[in-house]
Chain A
Amino acid sequence: MSTTITTANSVSKEVVESWYIVAALVENKPGVLFRVTNLFRARSFNIESITVGSTEQIDLSRMTITTKSDEKTLDQLVKQLRKLIDVVDVRVLDSAKTVYRELALIKMKAGDPTTRMEITTYASIFRANILDIAKDTIMVEITGTPDKIDAFKNLVSHFGIIQLARTGVSALPRGEDM
Chain B
Amino acid sequence: MIGAKALITALEKEGVQVIFGLPGGANLPIYDALVDAHLRHILVRHEQSASHMADGYARIKRKAGICFATSGPGATNLITGIATAHADSSPLIAITGQVPLAMIGKDAFQETDIIGVANPCTKYAFQPREASEIPETVKKAFYIAQSGRPGPVLIDIPKDVQQANAEVTFPDLIKVRGYNPVIDADISQLGKAVETMLRAEKPIIMAGGGVILSGAFSELQALAELLMAPVVTTFKGKGSFPENHPLAMGPIGMHGHAEANKIILEADCILAIGARFSDRSVGRFDEFGKGMSIIHMDVDPSEIGKNKNVDIAVVGDVKSSLRTAVKMLSKQIVKKREADNPWLRRRKELIDYYADTIKDYSRELTAKKTLKKLREMLPTDAIVTTEVGQCQMWTSLHFDIIAPGTFFSSTGLGTMGFGFPASIGAKAARPDVPVIDIAGDGSFNMTENSLAVSVLDNLPVIVFLMNNYMLGMVAQWQRTFYNRRYMGVHQHNCPDYVKIAQAYGAQGIRAQSMDELEKAIKNALNVQVATVIDITIDPEEDVYPFVAPGTGLKDMITGA
Contact = CB atoms under 8 A, between A and B. Distances in A.
A117 B102 CA distance: 55
B255 to A, nearest CB: 27
A91 B249 CA distance: 42
Contacts of B120: 38, 42
Contact of A76 (B119, B179, B300, B302): B302
B124 A82 contact: no
A31 B124 CA distance: 11
A83 B115 contact: no
B119 A83 contact: no
B412 interface: no
Given A31-B115, A38-B120, A79 B178 contact: no
A102 interface: no
Contacts of B115: 31
A72 interface: yes
A82 B306 contact: no
B105 interface: no
* Interface size class of chain B, counting residues whose CB lies under 8 Å from the partner chain: 10 to 19
B233 to A, nearest CB: 25
Given A79-B301, A83-B302, A38 B119 contact: yes
Contacts of B123: 85
A172 to B, nearest CB: 20
* Interface size class of chain A, counting residues whose CB lies under 8 Å from the partner chain: 10 to 19
Contacts of B119: 34-35, 38
B139 to A, nearest CB: 14
B176 interface: yes
B305 interface: yes
Q: Which of B124, B177, B309 has the most chain A CB atoms inside 10 A of its CB?
A: B177
A84 B144 CA distance: 11
Contacts of B309: 72
B305 A84 contact: no
Given A35-B119, A38-B119, A85 B176 contact: yes
Contacts of A31: 115
A80 B144 contact: no
Interface of A: 26-27, 31, 34-35, 38, 42, 72, 75-76, 79-80, 82-88
Interface of B: 115-116, 119-120, 123-124, 144, 176-179, 300-302, 304-306, 309
12 contacts: A34-B116, A38-B120, A42-B120, A72-B309, A76-B306, A84-B178, A85-B123, A85-B124, A85-B144, A85-B176, A86-B178, A88-B178
